[in-house]
Structure 1
Amino acid sequence: MCLIFLSLNNHPKYKLIVAANRDEFYQRKTAAAEFWPDHPEILGGRDLEASGTWMAMNKNGRVALVTNYRDLNNLKQTAPSRGALVSDFLLTDIHANDYLQGIEPKASVYNGFNLLVGNTDELYYLSNYKRGIEKLNNGIHGLSNALLNTPWPKIERGKEHFASFIDKQDVDPEVLFNMLYNEERAADALLPDTGVGIERERMLSAMFIKSPNYGTRCSTVMLVNHNNHVQYYERVYDLQTFAYSTRTYELFV
């Protein structure tokens, strides 16, 4: 997962709203969202190379998401999978803050990450590029490949659109999917400098990324109302035509 917008305890009907894109190399083997055959209590997509995931939830209401922190100058070729940080949390009953306290002392062994864990009522954040664990305030948050709420152009633009699209009693998943499928690139003067070069910074500045071998492969929208009814939608794109198929799941947690 490389782009996340969420609303926490900030809506009259939904206590948690998530709209997110997963960006990844096209050749990486992936399974679409489903209840996992080996852990049927977990719902989400799955990385078939490392068996972890970028976003998933447990039927008991536990939720976890991860994005990469972009720092190509400090990549570790033998680092453990960041996706396991998500799946490991979902397979435990440890409180989110305690789980992150266990991760923090060894966080440096991973490549850069931003990790959100918790449940449909509260979420906690940890990055190995920032000291300490943060409990998210109620409200709207945006996360990409820098720290939480870093004002990159696509985060600022996306948070503004996201806030306007959920400013009503009922939230339309289709509207959020359309928001996520935004190919607008930032002006050069607004681009961050993360060491990948100007051409790649331009390409990565879009909310929906397309390139010959890397880009947005799926989008996810999750709505959780105050009665703990979950609507979980995942849209997977054909990487040649960008036609899509959508999976829908509903459950109570």
Structure 2
Amino acid sequence: MCTVIIDVPTDPGTPVRLLAIRDEDPNRPWNPLGHWWPEHPSILGVQDIRAGGAWLATDADTRRLAVLLNRAGGDHLPDTAVLSRGTLPLDSVLGHSPDERPAMRGFNLLEVDATSARVISWDGAIRRETEIEPGIHMIAHDDVDDPATARISHWLEHFRLAAPDARPADGTPWYQPWLDVLARSAELGPVDDRAIIRDNRPLGYPTLSLLVCAASVGTDAVDIRYADLPAPGTWGDLDLH
């Protein structure tokens, strides 16, 4: 039940920017942002150790980024027949998007390059592709900007009003206005349906919000920053680096 806020610009010279919050079982092993794939030295990502892939991955050479968000679907597949979704972001930045009928539980795979973004959605039965229009949008466990998702219906306009500035005059990072919205959202508490910094255990999932990444994907470079939350499902001052 991860969350992504993304700004797709109207000006093709402006980078695509996003803020991604990862929800995962704290007991599932991962590595923080780093170069974890020696065979692919240009790839930087948050490694999913169990799958050997990534939750989020970027390729500096191709200016691609991909991040995975789980969604419902695929529960009819037996555990022995299910492939891990953790392979998807790494495959994506290497140029391999999921096929028409992946043997996986449901997912939203956000694929970004320097000029565009799209979501590949799989609900266990139908694969769909959604091109993200210019503007600021939110993605979670359903469709893009889905009003049935409480955190989106409550916070989307707040993120739009806090549109990031690529060159802030005071030297603050472009993503700071969005971090300020996240800080306000955390006042709700992690089990509120509208919360972005979450504790999903009351809903029957072992996942909590663990980390935040901010990324800018442009024609000349990919810049990505990372910070762990102070504790799972707990907001605090973050130093993204």
TM bucket (normalised to shorter chain) is: 0.7 to 0.9
- The alignment covers a number of residue pairs equal to 224
- The one of 82, 86, 91 equivalent to 1:83 is 86
The residue type paired with residue 119 of structure 1 is D
The residue type paired with residue 142 of structure 2 is A
Structure 2: tracts of 5 or more residues without a match: none
User: Is residue 12–residue 115 contact of structure 2 (8 Å, CA) maintained in 1?
Assistant: no
Matches within 5 A, 1:121-200: 121-129=115-123, 130-151=126-147, 152-166=149-163, 168=165, 170=168, 172-181=174-183, 182-185=185-188
Rounded Cα–Cα distance in structure 2 between residues aligned with 1:209 and 1:144: 12
1:34 aligned residue: 34
User: Is residue 164–residue 175 contact of structure 2 (8 Å, CA) maintained in 1?
Assistant: no
1:114 aligned residue: 108
Identity %: 23
Rounded Cα–Cα distance in structure 2 between residues aligned with 1:5 and 1:27: 26
Matches within 5 A, 1:213-252: 214-225=207-218, 228-239=220-231, 246-248=239-241
1:210 aligned residue: 199
- Report the secondary structure of 1:163's partner residue: helix
TM-score by length of 1: 0.75
When residues 76 and 114 of structure 1 are mapped into structure 2, their CA distance, relative to the original with a 3 A threshold, is farther
User: Is residue 5–residue 138 contact of structure 2 (8 Å, CA) maintained in 1?
Assistant: yes
When residues 204 and 71 of structure 1 are mapped into structure 2, their CA distance, relative to the original with a 3 A threshold, is farther
Segment drifting more, 24-33 vs 153-162: 153-162
TM-score by length of 2: 0.78
Rounded Cα–Cα distance in structure 2 between residues aligned with 1:180 and 1:74: 35
Q: Which has the higher helix share?
A: 1
The residue type paired with residue 58 of structure 1 is D
